[in-house]
Structures are given as structure tokens and as C-alpha cells.
Amino acid sequence: MNQIGIFNKQYGLEKQGLVNVKSVYWNLNAPRLYEEAVRRGEGIIADGGPLVVETGQHTGRSANDKFIVKNEESADTVWWGAVNKPFEETRFAELHRRVLAYYQGRDVFVQDCFAGADPNFRLSVRVVTETAWHSLFTRNMLLVPDRNEHQSFEPAFTILQAPGLKANPETDGTRSDVFVLINFAEKLVLIGGTSYAGEIKKSVFSILNYLLPARNVMPMHCSINVGDAGDAAIFFGLSGTGKTTLSADSSRMLIGDDEHGWSDNGTFNFEGGCYAKVIRLSEEAEPEIYETTRRFGTVLENVIFDPEARDLDLDDATLTENTRACYPIDFIPNASVDGIAGHPKNIIMLTADAFGVLPPISKLTPEQAMYHFLSGYTAKLAGTEKGLGKEPQATFSTCFGAPFMPRHPSVYAELLGKKIAEHGVTCWLVNTGWTGGEFGTGERMPIKYTRALVNSALAGELKDAPTAQDPHFGLAVPQSCPGVPSEILNPRETWADKAAYDAKARELVDRFIANFTQFEDYVDANVLAAAPDAA
């Protein structure tokens, strides 16, 4: 085979069963991957330099097509159910053989990278793709070793991604022609039938979420930034809740926008890049992220552009609401160099409440923080996953990341509760969703108000501010905040029909209570008492 680039001659693809491939492009940098992507017709260079690609039919994660192989390693450690669905070892082996056969006679691109900025906990990951642009995505999102590290690199896990290979559900045991299969015993991930690059990123996250709790490290679906005084802040939240937007604050240093660990030493980024939603991105409200969409090295997924002038149209959702920008984290001017921070002073749990009844900010007791972390309430927004319609759907995603949490939620919740207590962390629930009515009647919470509330919370201005208890959710709601109209703070006052508000709030309370029944045997009485009032 023809081998191009920097690689470890002692640990080549032959050790992983990849033989008779045409050419292997090892650890190419952005300029060389651009050349290959354009030459192969994989993407177009838009004005300013970003590489624009389309992912075809799959413009979001195929959540129902992800499986974990059930074997001796995983049988008693994985939280089996609707999220972590079991897959047979024999069928995995057959699909593995098919992936290896598929690559024969083809060019492949390899990135050997690290996941985890803290050297004490980092994981070496090899990602093999059939396109140059997926290799650039991987290089942007993970941590790139130096030349010496490349030459001695041995992967702890391998991801084989083959978008052009489709599964046969009848014979392969998959749900559709898409497959995302994780085998913890063989330290191998197989991805096929989809070009959506987020499957690569989230597979790495799932691996770390499985491995790290055993080392007393809390893996988190969150962003983190740090103030001048070294005060770290954690932002929990699902896609579309504002995690990336709110953490990219020019007055604070960005550690990372999506995936982190919290060890006894402090917090650290899992990644080396950001994967931001850019549909209707505002240059005024989100200048740091907006600027990345005009840079060489950024990969833009499913963004519409003028074919002649190559001007981007970030407002056009023709292909999907889930348009994305993937870029190295150092494209954000105030990003951390090493991706490491101390223990957090504040934790902010973000939710996009489609019902429009939660306060825009409320202070949580430690028990309420545990309750809302396990609940993970938000609204899934259009385009984030295949099959979602145009309207947001209310959902409970435990730990604000259930699709990526292989272990039982109680494992992560116990770790979080322990660390909150050890470090005296102040916790907040922030609603970035609707106000003045539910979706379709009200409006999305203005980002300027959310920023003002978050900034005041992080500055300590709301910690001891007067509060009123929300009658339905029992939350302590600050009664004033600089730069925010006082009526915004009380969601009931923003509704024209107060009776309709009360009815909708009770409806959401009932949903919280029904959802939490699955955790009642795993938490103490104080956490159960933090539930919303069903009366």
C-alpha cells in the first residue's frame, strides 16, 4: 500500500486488519486535507476559506441506530435499555469483516489523536475515514499529537468510519442501513451508512463516559469557561440550549464547548475543537463563533452558499436546521491553550423550555441540582437528530446527555453530588427557551437577557440576591438583575392568560414527576423532596 504522512511504522493498519487498501493518508494537516477534499469533489471552499460539505440524507445523529456490543466486558456495566441497546458479538464480527472488505482497494485517511487535555486521563484514538473532510473534522475536534508522539502512537481505541457502506437490517441485526456500534471489549467502533460527522465525535465521548467514572473522573456533556480570578463555570445542556453560545464569552477564557472531565485535580477538555450550530447565527450576538465561519480550516456542514460568489447564507435551513461549524478551539480568541482549569465555582444547567413556564434563572439547592441533573429536561430542537419535526419536542435526557452515557445515571449523579459538596459549588437552572407563552405563542428568550443573567450569576451578584419561590417548581427565583426587566424573571407575568400558564406549569410538573420514578430507588429522600410540587 502507498503510505503518505507521519505514522508509527510499528503500529500500522495491518495490526487492525486493514490490508490491501490503495493508499493511506496519515495525519495530514488542514491544507493537505483541503487539497484532497476539493480534488475528490467532497466539498467547496466558500468566501473567507471554510470548507463547505453536505452530509446527504443524514443531517443529524441517528440515535436509534447506535448499539453497544454485549459481552463479558459490558454485560454488567452498561445501563441497558432504550438508550444503550445491546448488539450481538457474532453480528458485530460480521459487520467488522464487511467494513474491512469495503476498504480494500480504496484510499483511506487516518488521524491518530488524543481525547482528554489532562495527560493523566487522555485516551489515544485512531480514526479511519474514507473521505478527506471527515479526517479534517477529526483533526479539528480531537487533540493533535506532535511529530514524536505520532511516531510512537498506539491506539487504545479505533473508529472505522465507512459512510458508503450500508447495513442490511435483515441479516446484520441493525435497525436500518445505518450503524454505530461500540465494542468496549475489542476497543473498536464501527460507523456506516451515514456521513454525519457528529457520530465520530459522540462515539469518542461515549467511550470516555464509560471509562472515566472508574477513575473517579466525572465525564460531562458541558462547556466550561474561566474568569480572570480563575473561577471556572460549567454549562450543562443538550444541543440547542446555548451551551456553545454562552460559554464563548469574550470576557472569560473558553476551556471547551461540549465535553469535559472533572477529576480530583480540576476540570479538563476532552476535545481540541468546537462543533457549533450555526443556523441563523448572529454576528452581533455571537461574534466569536460567527467569525469562525469565515476562516480557512473550518468545516461547515450543510450550510447554504451562493455558488458564484461563494457567500454564505447562515439563515437558510434548506438542507437542515442542524447546520454546523467544526473548527479548532484556538479559532476562538480567548480560548485556553492547554484546555485545563480548576474546580468550578458555579454550575449552570441549561434548558430550552418549550412550555415557556420555567424561570429564566433560578438558584438550586444541592438536592435540586441533583434532581435536575438526573431529569435533564429540555426540548430537542429541529434537526439535531434524524426524524425530529419542525417543532421542539419536550424531552428528559438524564445527565443532560443520556445518549452518550453507557453506565447507569446514578453513577454520574453520585460523582456530581460528591464533587459539588467537596468544592462548595453554586448551582443554577437557566431557561433559554420560551417566554410569554409556549412554543408557537410565546417567543424565544432574548439572548441578551440570558447573557446578563448568567454574567450576574458568575460575578456573584445573584448569589445572595432576594428571591421568591416559584409556586410550581419550588425554585428560588432572583427578583432583580441588572440589564433585565423584572417582569421577565417571573414567567407567569409574561403570559397574557395566567390560567393557561398555571395549567401548562402543572402539565410540566406532572411530566417531571412521572419521569423521575425511574430514579426513586437510587437517590436519598432529600433529592426526592426536591421534586416540583404536584399539588
The binding site for Mn(2+) consists of 202, 221, 258
Please pick, among 70, 243, 252, 363, the residue that the annotation labels catalytic: 243
Binding residues for ATP: 202, 221, 237-245, 286, 324, 450
Q: Is residue 244 among the annotated active site residues? A: yes
Q: Is residue 187 among the annotated active site residues? A: no
Where helices occur in 104-174 by DSSP H, the ranges are 132-141, 147-151, 169-172
For residue 353, what is its C-alpha cell? Answer: 423550555
Residues 6+ apart with CB under 8 A from 49: 294, 295, 296, 297, 298
For residue 439, what is its C-alpha cell? Answer: 412554543
Please pick, among 112, 231, 257, 258, the residue that the annotation labels catalytic: 258
Q: Following DSSP, what letter does each residue of 6-23 receive, concatenated?
A: ---TTS-GGGGT--S-SE
Cell 473558553, residue located: 254
Compute the distance between CA of residue 448 and CA of residue 465 in angstroms, rounded to an integer. Answer: 20
Distances (CA, A) of 378 to 124, 203, 250, 355, 504: 33, 22, 26, 10, 15
Quick one: residue 102, left, alpha or beta (phi over 0 = left, psi -120 to 50 = alpha)?
alpha
Binding residues for substrate: 61, 196, 202, 324
Q: Is residue 243 among the annotated active site residues? A: yes
Compute the distance between CA of residue 518 and CA of residue 515 in angstroms, rounded to an integer. Answer: 7
For residue 291, what is its C-alpha cell? Answer: 467569525
The torsion angles phi and psi of 500, rounded to 5 degrees, stand at -65, -40
Please pick, among 55, 244, 267, 362, the residue that the annotation labels catalytic: 244
Binding residues: 61, 196, 202, 221, 237-245, 258, 286, 324, 450
Compute the distance between CA of residue 347 and CA of residue 236 in angstroms, rounded to an integer. Answer: 8
Of 189, 344, 323, which Cα lies nearest the Cα of 260? 344
Q: Is residue 61 among the annotated active site residues? A: yes
Please pick, among 122, 324, 408, 419, the residue that the annotation labels catalytic: 324
Compute the distance between CA of residue 113 and CA of residue 146 in angstroms, rounded to an integer. Answer: 10
Please pick, among 122, 221, 345, 380, the residue that the annotation labels catalytic: 221
Number of Cβ within a 10 Å radius of residue 426: 20
Compute the distance between CA of residue 113 and CA of residue 116 in angstroms, rounded to an integer. Answer: 10
Compute the distance between CA of residue 250 and CA of residue 289 in angstroms, rounded to an integer. Answer: 11
Helix (H) / strand (E) containing 135: helix 132-141
Helix (H) / strand (E) containing 503: helix 498-516
3-state secondary structure of 107: coil
Q: Is residue 435 among the annotated active site residues? A: no
Please pick, among 66, 122, 126, 202, the residue that the annotation labels catalytic: 202
Please pick, among 58, 61, 126, 386, the residue that the annotation labels catalytic: 61
Q: Is residue 324 among the annotated active site residues? A: yes
Please pick, among 74, 138, 223, 239, the residue that the annotation labels catalytic: 239
As annotated, the active-site residues are 61, 202, 221, 239, 243-244, 258, 324
